[in-house]
Amino acid sequence: MSKIHVTTTINGDPTEFLCEADETLLDVLRDRLGLTGSKEGCGTGDCGACSVTVGGRLVCSCLMLGAEAEGQEIGTIEGMAEGESLHPLQKKFIEHAALQCGICTPGLLVAAKSLLEHNPDPTEEETRYWLAGNLCRCTGYDKIIRAVMDAGKDMREAS
Amino acid sequence: MVQVRIWGSLAAATEDQTEVEIEASTLRELLDGLAARYPAMRPQLERGVSVSIDGRIYTENWFTPIHKDSEVVLLARLKGG
Amino acid sequence: MALDSKSELREFKIVGTRPLRPDGIDKVTGKARFGADITAPGMLVGLVLRSPHAHARIVSIDTSRAEAVPGVHAVVTRADFAEPGEDVADILDNCMAGAKALYDGHAVAAIAASSGKIARDALKLIDVVYEVLPHVTDVDAAMKPGAPVLHEGRTDETVPEGLSPNVISRHEFGHGDIEAGLAQADRIVERTFQTEATHQGYIEPHACLAQMGPDGQADLWCCTQGHYMARNVCAEILGLEQGQLRVTASEIGGGFGGKTTVFLEPVALMLARKSGRPVKMVMTRSEVLRATGPTASSSIDVKIGMTKDGRITAGFAELRYQGGAYPGSPVDMGSMSAFAPYDLEHVKTIGWDVVTNRPKQAAYRAPGAPMAAFAVESAIDELARGFGLDPLEVRLKNAAREGTRASYGPTYPAIGLEATLRTAKDHPHWSAPLGENQGRGVACGFWFNFGGDTCVTLNITPDGTVTVSEGNPDIGGSRASMSMMAAEELGIPYEKVRTIVADTGSLGQNEVTDGSRVTFAVGLATIEAARAAIREMCKRAAMVWGIEPEAVEWVDGAAQPAGPNAGEHPPMTLAEIAAIASNTGGPIAGHHEANPEGAGVSFATHMVDTEVDPDTGAVKILRYTVFQDAGKAIHPAYVEGQFQGGAVQGIGWALNEEYIYGEDGVLQNAGFLDYRVPVASDLPMIDTVILEIPNPGHPYGVRGVGETSIVPPLAAVANAVSAASGVRMTSLPISPPKLLAALHER
């Protein structure tokens, strides 16, 4: 079976790749493009560890085919910091000890960034419901929620 | 001689005594002494035990000292996650 | 190594602060490399074929059609492995089935191919002929004579005759006379409790990459709680020399006890041996749930007597744990810990280890203790409420303290249970008002903690910075804690120390990251390694000054003359001594190798408010507070994190999580959609109160903190549900349909 040629943009970089018709975007990112920051925790869209944005919309990259990336703007954890400068969410996650093992962290950060873009001043409840699709088994979410809300506050004050 | 408290299921090996006396000044001497005196205890000793000596729990260090008046208690071998 | 000062804790400069973790940036930018993120040139993809049957004799396996597929480079079955030694026999059989498949998901063959697609297709061409056997997955059913038998001849000498061969061992603990104690009671509660198996639920599936040459040298990268364990076990199974197998631990995406053994690693090495190529294996979530260690499920009878003023007169529990297809459920730990928080004259526990057609249980955070605490703490709560007594007061009245003879035998040294209870009673949470359908529960929990083999090497670099090499995978921020302890001892800033997890070629043997041992044992070795380096640096300064090494002391990161007799010399800092190391005898390092035992036990009290929806049976957690003794919190943020994480795993165990088997013995919910772990919207903030009752067995007073936090929540939540609804739930999880049925029955 011949592969599909895909032209897309990933974290602002024009990118081309070949993939099988049944290959997920997550597999393409990890296995073909070396972008292993997105993690596979379940492969069924239940854990959120593979969260990316596609045209600004938050999606589980394990539920999307690589071929569907054609012409899209993909955002992954690797594109979150600008050079040496961490995104406020990244800084707050470290400051608040919002990660223990860190496997869910990329997905949570991508999802939290998407939250703050949609809702710059979320309540705790809104934050918890937005992040309900991202499983974390280490922290009990407490420090994650605090970090996200604190980052939101800093970002509001900075703008 | 040190007094050694053993747990219930081991009492089958000691004619139902839950406290036995063993001549031992180290953990190794204690375990060897128990095996020699109570052969029926050997399978469990081989599977492994932990030993509380004066309230602190040891499993491996053979030469942990045991004093005459130490409180010595055999425990199931500890495991953790 | 004893506590530095018995009278008062030393003044710390760094310990007890909250610096940023050294691996933080890698983990927030996606750079950190976890098990599945490692690749090698020419790498093949390894996949496992798993039994669709709960119990079946493997009549034959024909791999010839799969081997003929272009792109398939190796197929492995049990026939490829030599007869294993006794201590790894069950581990190997669990990694690759021998005569029988013992549970749904049991590995029966594996393939390495040039792509995942080829491997997946070729798996279907392996022809396995099974003779399906009757199966049993329930612990009580498995104990009965006539139950389907997994193994013959595994029962040990502790088990009386007349039971099924599935009963492996019997454990009895306690002291006093239960009947005499019960006779003194004003009321006796006797109940049977059940808990379902739950999975550790780490978000990172098991993954590894193996390569092996014909010379017997091999390399393995894997996500594990113990790469030295992985080395030793794999070397024995594969017939390699330990020194020739180098194992590097990747970053680990959660473990909680579930990564304290091997599943894929020996298979990957065998595929690498046969194919001559590097082989990478990564489990799917379904494989993780079907074939890696959940915890034991349990069935527990409890009988507790109490006087009307709240004194427990006797406590008895009989615990039956099924640990899956092989011996070794943690029922002995459950039996020892069940009544550990209480000062009881008459106490007895009996534990039964039972095998069933389920995956081999693996350790899960305080293995065996949470289910025992669920049963005992529920019964105590019922008695206290029955007498109209304050459940915290009842626990205080019966609390074990220094000098109490523990239910498992020894006399306690200084312990923190009473402090957690008093702090809980004084906390505003305890007196906060509750609304309709809301209730508050409390429960206590205990865990042993332990030490084990540990190596640390601390190197002073020429520019005066410090590297620490330790051999325990960092699952919750331990590199930060080690750097803090090294910096504290050396008297230099935290930022000047970088701690790494070294591969198995770099250090001696290290026990697995388990038993809440790392901050205690590795911390202790780090402190000792730093002290060794300090001794050497004092010696170097003495050489320069022309005085005796004993006349030099180490203060605030510098050597200085110990007194006026030692002469007038300005202090030499660590960096100054490091800069001239080549001129004073060569590089400077400190190292420490030991098996520190004598870790301090720890206790916790949890308090939780729940609201029960009478129409649906759904339980909402409204408020949660953890009170736990940490001995000494090195990095308080990560101690809080352990408290919070353990509490939430316990909440999941109490309310949602369970292994559901069909009549066919096949796991029905092998995915995160149906095996539901708590999500952010299920929970409130988890408040924490850290108590510090120093452990006399550690220089800074550290006790382990990782495990105790999962012990109380099962009972605390159940007690809160009972308070909210008037219904006593004796079977976990308290899922909405189950609670709704109980509410209707009321």
Looking at chain C, the domain(s) classified CATH 3.30.365.10 span 297-411+424-438+602-745, 451-594
B-C contacts (CB, under 8 Å) = 106
pLDDT (mean) for A111-125: 98
Chain C environment of A43 (Cβ under 8 Å): 284-285
Question: Contact C171/B9, CB-based, under 8 Å?
Answer: yes
Q: What percent of chain B has pLDDT over 90?
A: 75
**CB atoms C680 and A141 under 8 Å:** yes
Integer Cα distance of C309 and A33 in angstroms: 69
Q: Residue C2: what pLDDT?
A: 76
| Whole-number Å distance between alpha carbons of C36 and B19 | 53
Q: Do B81 and C413 touch (CB under 8 A)?
A: no
Which of C87, C157, C202, C518 is most worth mutating to test chain B (most B CB atoms within 10 A of its CB)? Answer: C157
Q: Provide the shortest C-alpha distance from residue B75 to chain C (in Å).
A: 7
Q: Looking at the predicted structure, is the pLDDT value of residue B74 above 80? A: yes
Write the DSSP string, C124-143: TT-EEEEEE------HHHHH
Q: Do C645 and A138 touch (CB under 8 A)?
A: yes
Q: Give the tokens for residue C404.
A: 């109490």
Residue C688 near residue C713, CB atoms below 8 Å: no
DSSP run (H or E) holding C655: helix C636-655
Q: What is the domain range of residue B49?
A: 2-76
Q: Domain locations in chain A?
A: 4-79, 88-158
Q: What's the pLDDT at C118?
A: 97
Cβ-based contacts of C90 with chain B (< 8 Å): none
For A88-158, CATH number? 1.10.150.120
Percent of chain A as helix, strand, coil, to the nearest 5: 40, 20, 40
Q: What is the pLDDT of residue B79?
A: 82
Token pair, residue C468, equals 């620490």
Q: Identify the pLDDT of residue C7.
A: 55
Report chain A's mean pLDDT, rounded to a whole number: 97
pLDDT of residue C403: 96
Q: Which two tokens stand for residue A20?
A: 């099988």
**Residues of C numbered 677-706 whose beta carbons fall under 8 angstroms of chain A's beta carbons: which are they?**
677-683, 685-686
| CB spacing of B64 vs C597 below 8 angstroms | yes
- Per-residue confidence (pLDDT) for residue C566, from 0 to 100: 85
State the pLDDT at residue C563: 86
Which CATH number is A4-79 given?
A: 3.10.20.30
Extract the tokens encoding C733: 């999880």
- Backbone angle region of C227, left / alpha / beta, with phi > 0 → left and psi within -120 to 50 → alpha: alpha
Same-fold call for A4-79 versus A88-158: no
Q: Rounded to whole angstroms, how far apart are CA atoms B72 and B53?
A: 5
The yes or no reply on domain C451-594 and CATH 3.30.365.10 is yes
Give A144's contacts in chain C (Cβ within 8 Å): 680
For testing the chain A interface, which of C45, C259, C501, C679 should be mutated: the one with the most A CBs within 10 Å? C679
C611 CA: distance to closest CA in chain A (Å): 17
**Residue A159: predicted pLDDT:** 87
Domain total of chain B:
1
B72 occurs within a structural domain: yes
pLDDT below 50 — which residues of chain C? Answer: none
Q: Do B55 and C411 touch (CB under 8 A)?
A: yes
C416 Cβ contact list (under 8 Å, min separation 6) = C602, C603, C628, C629, C691, C693
Q: Which long-range contacts (CB under 8 A, 24 or more apart) does B42-47 make?
A: B43/C156, B43/C157, B44/B10, B44/B13, B44/C158, B47/B77, B47/C156
What are residue C191's phi and psi, to 5 degrees?
A: -145, 160
- A76 vs C contacts (CB less than 8 Å): 30
Q: In what order do the strands lie in the sheet with A4-10?
A: A13-19, A4-10, A73-75, A51-54, A57-60
Helices (H), C154-264: 178-183, 227-238
φ, ψ (nearest 5 deg) of residue A127: -65, -45
- Partner residue facing A47 (CB), from C252, C672, C678: C672
Contact partners, residue C14, CB within 8 Å, separation at least 6 = C484, C487, C488, C494
Instruction: List C residues 3-22 in contact with A (Cβ-Cβ < 8 A).
Output: 18, 20-21
CB contact under 8 A, B56 and C413: yes
Please give the distance of CA C598 from its chain centroid, rounded to a whole number.
Answer: 18
In a mutational test of the A interface, the residue from C17, C20, C29 whose CB has the highest number of chain A CBs within 10 Å is: C29
Please give the radius of gyration of chain C, using alpha carbons only, rounded to the nearest integer. Answer: 27
Distance between CA atoms of C519 and C532, rounded to whole angstroms?
A: 19
**C-alpha distance from B31 to closest chain C C-alpha (Å):** 17
Min Cα–Cα distance to chain A from C92, Å: 26
Confidence (pLDDT) at C171: 96
Superfamily of domain C35-133+205-252+259-291: Aldehyde oxidase/xanthine dehydrogenase, a/b hammerhead (3.90.1170.50)
Distance of CA C480 to the CA centre of its chain: 20
Taking the CA of residue A73 and the nearest CA in chain C, the distance in Å comes to 19
The answer to whether the Cβ–Cβ distance between B74 and C515 falls below 8 Å is no
For the record, the structure tokens of C333 come out as: 């730990």
Nearest to C409 by CA among A58, B81, B56: B56
Q: What tokens appear for C441 in the block?
A: 């529960």
SS3 label, residue A71 = coil
Q: Given this model, what pLDDT does residue C108 score? A: 98
Q: How far is B73 from chain C (nearest CA, A)?
A: 6
C515 contacts B40? CB cut-off 8 A = no
Residue bearing tokens 């297809």: C325
Q: For C152-296, where are the E strands, in sequence order?
A: 167-175, 187-195, 207-212, 218-222, 245-249, 279-282
Q: Looking at the partner chain, which of C170, C171, C257 has a beta carbon nearest the beta carbon of B81? A: C257
Mutate to test the interface with B, among C593, C597, C695, C711 (most CBs of B within 10 A): C597
**What is the residue whose two structure tokens read 């079955």?**
C77
pLDDT (0 to 100) of residue A154: 97
Residue of A nearest to C679 (CA): A132
Q: What is the CATH number of the domain that holds B61?
A: 3.10.20.30
* Strand pairing report for C686-691 and C619-629: parallel
**CATH number, domain C297-411+424-438+602-745:** 3.30.365.10
Average pLDDT over residues A83-108: 97
Q: Band of the pLDDT at B55, cuts 50, 70, 90?
A: confident
CA distance C180 to C650: 35
C interface test, pick of B4, B5, B7 with most C CB neighbours within 10 Å: B7
Structural tokens at position C268:
């990957």
Q: Considering only CB atoms, which chain B residues are within 8 Å of C170?
A: 9
Tokens 């009965």 map to which residue? Answer: C144
Entry pTM: 0.97
For residue C4, what are its two tokens? Answer: 């530095």
CA distances from C520 to A130, C453, C630, C701, C706 (A): 38, 12, 11, 9, 11
On whether residue B81 sits in a domain, the answer given is no
B75 reaches C (C-beta below 8 A): yes
For chains C and A, having 3+ Cβ pairs within 8 Å is answered yes
Instruction: Please tell me which chains touch A, using 3 or more CB pairs under 8 Å as the contact test.
Output: C
Q: Does B7 touch chain C (CB under 8 A)?
A: yes
Instruction: Give me the half-sphere count of Cα atoms (radius 13 Å) on the Cβ side of residue C630.
Output: 23
